[in-house]
């Protein structure tokens, strides 16, 4: 299976490491929108300019697109699906149906296969929501994110006047998660589910009190949450908050029996040292399945919901029956 | 989708309740090996003798076989697959490859579709092992069972002279589970992973000390574990230990990055008030997917690894994109 990487940011680097861990994968090259001479592969792979991509139409089985969901992927995946079999990590949940429709049309018109929204949420969390709902049709769903860095919230703080840099952690309220894991099914407000912890570096002489208030009252991002703001030095931010950890829970509690007298709780939990690298591992596993679908002649856009689990892993069916089932 | 239930024990009753919870399912009937006049459906469904099953060859889409793994299913599923599309809950892990081969041949020879080993382990736990291994090829797997009743171990105690009845709980060692959920990857002996708690009712005048020793030293079942034996009255056994709860964890910790410097922990946890009813819910969800495969013309034996998640749920793809992805 020959893969290409389009975009060499955190996820792109993660895909490069993932290719090295998966023995059935050959990484054809990394394609960058920057000056290719200024981009150095972490593992000595070839770096090309995206303008060279047209020469690789028949040399890449699946192109993994590592772009931003907000502004890049909505057009990038649609365009690249005209010439390649593609997979992306589009994660703006509300816009998934539209993105799916656009990518599906592009892929079908050109006879390619595509997958959108691969990763952990959307991705593995979505699969767990589906499995749990399929098995327990009568029940209540919960998703908790964190503790982990939210890129969007960190960016929102950085746009405030006087702020040099910032990191925002989304933190699930532990007591609430524990209650739900024990089978309780409370109705929860946004504020009851997650806290927001901010680490902020400001310019000398900045009005910290004013900045803290501006953060805490920011609509959509912080106003509906209990938010703590910590002002720290640039050095401390780099030393203690440079990682990209994330975590989360998908929980469903449902009932069965003659009169719903039996309760069941299904929970799926991730604890990730590196959000982008885990996302990258998922894209490579699903690229493997997509490649098999391509060999079957499938065209159009798929999601994680379409993939037979057996196609994700580099292991024979006999081995799966023996060691995994 | 028209389902039939073959065998009306705990799982069979659970399937009956599951059919009532799933609106796209029609339960054609319950087929019993006992005198059908002595078997009463919990929900007023029709009860037939298994000898009448031959009249239902074209009236049942999928027959859910609720028999015992140890002695019944190895021949039962193979035989029934000659005339029906079938699904079973075969759970003797070591014999899965052989059972698969036998059922696959029977189903292929007669042009039917079959699924073996549906439930939670094998079943949902197997799926989680596969997904976690596909995403994190470099890592360590753990499976813990309990706290829950082990039927096999309870039966083993009941065979001891002087024992009237018994229930055995398999209990994971909490401290060890917690360490692993935090990302530690210890090598563990059997004794370090699970405890065994026994509740035993004995005949009047029985030698309790001798019976306790016999339990604790029973090879394969108890000798490798820390086992506690509690002698209680028949009334207390009925009052406190009549339920069929179970639980468990599938955990994988793996590494990613340039030099494996980032650690990730994936865990899946079930807490079930009723082991047979949850197993039954799984069989009905997978029967739905099997029915779709049948409409596609698939024949032979499948497992949970072959099933596209989207086929498990009674929801349109548009709804899945909008609400689950």
> Quick one: pLDDT at residue B152?
87
DSSP B123: B
Which helix (H) or strand (E) covers residue B152, if one does?
helix B151-158
B321 touches chain A (CB under 8 A): yes
Residues of chain A neighbouring B266 (CB-CB closer than 8 A): 124, 268-270
Q: What pTM value is reported for the model?
A: 0.96
Domain B148-244 superfamily per CATH? Dihydrodipicolinate Reductase; domain 2 (3.30.360.10)
Among candidate residues A242, A285, A280, A282, the one with its CA nearest the CA of residue A10: A280
Contacts of A263 in chain B (CB under 8 A): 273
* Helix, coil or strand: residue A65: strand
Percent of residues, chain A, with pLDDT higher than 90: 98
Inter-chain CB proximity A126 and B324 less than 8 Å: yes
What residue ranges do the domains of chain A occupy?
2-121+276-323, 148-244
CA distance B162 to chain A (A): 34
How far is residue A201 from each of residues A210, A217, A218, A226, A234, measured CA to CA in Å?
14, 18, 18, 20, 6
Percentage of chain B exceeding pLDDT 90: 97
Whether residues B135 and A21 touch (CB distance < 8 A) is answered with no
Nearest chain A alpha carbon to B321: A97
Residues whose CB is less than 8 angstroms from the CB of residue A260 and which lie 6 or more positions away in sequence, other chains included: A138
Which has the closest alpha carbon to A302: A121, A35, A113, A65?
Answer: A113
Write out chain B residues lying below 8 Å of A322, CB-based: 96-97
Contacts of B128 in chain A (CB under 8 A): 268
Tell me how close the Cα of B40 comes to any Cα of chain A, in angstroms. 14
Contacts of residue A180 in chain B, CB cutoff 8 Å? none
Number of H helices, E strands in chain A: 11, 14
Task: List, for residues B166-195, the tens digit of each pLDDT value.
Answer: 999 999 999 999 999 999 999 999 999 999
Q: Which residues of B touch A281 (CB under 8 A)?
A: 135-136, 256
Contact B310 A308 (CB under 8 A): no
Domains B2-121+276-323 and B148-244 share a fold: no
Q: SS3 of A247, please? A: strand
What pLDDT, in 10s, does the model give residues B40-94? 999 999 999 999 999 999 999 999 999 988 789 999 999 999 999 999 999 999 9
Residue A71 DSSP label: T
> Within 13 A of B301's CA, how many CA atoms are on the CB side?
28
Residue A12, Cβ density class (10 Å: 0-12 exposed, 13-18 middle, ≥19 buried)? buried
CATH superfamily name and code, B2-121+276-323: NAD(P)-binding Rossmann-like Domain (3.40.50.720)
Q: Which of A85, A64, A63, A88 is nearest to A75 (CA)?
A: A88
Instruction: Give the one of B256, B285, B321 whose C-beta lies nearest to A135's C-beta.
Output: B285
A324 to chain B: nearest residue by CA? B126
How would DSSP label each residue in A150-183?
A: -HHHHHHHHTSTTEEEEEEEEEE-HHHHHHHHTT
| pLDDT, tens digit, 9 for 90 and up, residues A187-209 | 999 999 999 999 999 999 999 99
* CB-CB contact of B149 with B244 (8 Å): yes
With an 8 Å Cβ cutoff, is A320 touching chain B?
yes
3-class secondary structure, B44: coil
Gap between the Cα atoms of B137 and B140, Å rounded: 9
Q: Do residues B114 and B302 touch, judged by C-beta distance below 8 A?
A: yes
Residues B226-243 have pLDDT tens digits of 999 999 999 999 999 999
- Cβ distance B314 to A137 less than 8 Å, yes or no, reads yes
pLDDT at B274 over 90: yes
For all residues of chain B together, what is the average pLDDT? 97
Closest-CA residue of A relative to B142 is A324
C-beta atoms of A271 and B183 within 8 A: yes
A 1-60: CB under 8 A from B: 14, 17-18, 21-22, 42-43
pLDDT digits (tens, 9 = 90+) for A143-154: 999 999 998 899
Instruction: Note the pLDDT of residue B202.
Output: 98
Please tell me whether the peptide bond between B282 and the residue prior to it is cis, using omega within 30 degrees of 0. no
E-strand stretches of chain B: 2-6, 26-32, 47-49, 62-65, 86-87, 113-115, 139-145, 148-149, 163-172, 194-202, 226-231, 246-256, 262-272, 300-302
Pairing status of strand B62-65 against strand B300-302: unpaired
Q: How confident is the model at residue A19 (pLDDT cuts 50, 70, 90)?
A: very high
Is A95 a residue whose pLDDT tops 90?
yes
Chain B residues whose beta carbon lies within 8 Å of the beta carbon of residue A131: 124, 127, 309, 312
B308 to chain A: closest CA residue: A308
pLDDT band at B297 (very low <50, low <70, confident <90, very high): very high
Whether B117 and A325 lie within 8 Å, measured CB to CB = yes
Nearest CB to A263; choose among B122, B129, B273: B273
Q: Tell me how far apart the alpha carbons of residues A136 and A129 are, in angstroms, rounded to a whole number.
A: 10
Whether A98 and chain B come into contact, CB under 8 Å, resolves to no
Q: Which of B262, B281, B284 to mutate to test the interface with A (most CBs of A within 10 A)?
A: B262
Minimal CA separation from B217 to chain A, in Å: 29
CB pairs under 8 A between A and B: 207
Instruction: Encode pLDDT of B109-156 as tens digits.
Output: 999 999 999 999 999 999 999 999 999 999 999 999 999 999 889 999
Calculated CA dihedral for residues A136, A140, A141, A144, nearest 10 degrees: -140
Which residue on chain B is closest to A12 by alpha carbon? B257
Q: Chain A window 221-280: which residues touch B at a Cβ cutoff of 8 Å?
A: 256-258, 261-274, 277-278, 280
Query: What's residue A251's pLDDT?
Result: 98
């Amino acid at each position: 299976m020959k893969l290409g990487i389009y975009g060499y940011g955190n996820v792109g680097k993660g895909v490069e490491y993932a290719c090295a861990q998966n023995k059935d994968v050959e990484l054809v090259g990394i394609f960058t929108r920057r000056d290719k001479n200024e981009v150095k592969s972490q593992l000595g792979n070839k770096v090309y300019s995206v303008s060279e991509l047209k020469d690789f139409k028949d040399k890449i089985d699946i192109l993994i697109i590592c772009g931003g969901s907000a502004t890049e992927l909505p057009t990038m995946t649609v365009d690249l699906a005209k010439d390649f079999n593609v997979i992306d990590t589009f994660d703006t949940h509300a816009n998934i149906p539209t993105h799916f429709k656009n990518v599906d049309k592009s892929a079908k018109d050109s006879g390619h296969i595509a997958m959108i929204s691969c990763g952990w949420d959307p991705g593995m969390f979505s699969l767990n929501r589906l499995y749990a709902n399929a098995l327990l049709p009568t029940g209540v769903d919960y998703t908790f994110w964190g503790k982990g860095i939210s890129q969007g919230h960190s960016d929102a703080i950085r746009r405030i006047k006087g702020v040099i840099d910032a990191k925002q952690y989304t933190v699930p309220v532990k007591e609430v998660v524990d209650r739900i894991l024990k089978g309780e099914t409370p109705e929860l407000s946004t504020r009851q589910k997650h806290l927001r912890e901010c680490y902020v570096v400001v310019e000398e002489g900045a009005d910290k009190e004013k900045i803290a208030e501006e953060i805490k009252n920011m609509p959509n991002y912080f106003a509906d949450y209990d938010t703590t703001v910590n002002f720290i030095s640039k050095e401390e931010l780099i030393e203690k908050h440079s990682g990209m950890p994330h975590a989360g829970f998908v929980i469903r509690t449902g009932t069965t029996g003659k009169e719903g007298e039996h309760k069941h709780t299904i929970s799926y939990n991730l604890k990730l040292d590196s959000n982008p690298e885990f996302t990258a591992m998922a894209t490579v596993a699903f690229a493997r399945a997509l490649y098999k679908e391509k060999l079957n002649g499938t065209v159009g856009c798929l999601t994680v919901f379409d993939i037979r689990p057996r196609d994700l892993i580099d292991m024979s069916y006999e081995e799966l029956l023996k060691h995994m089932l």
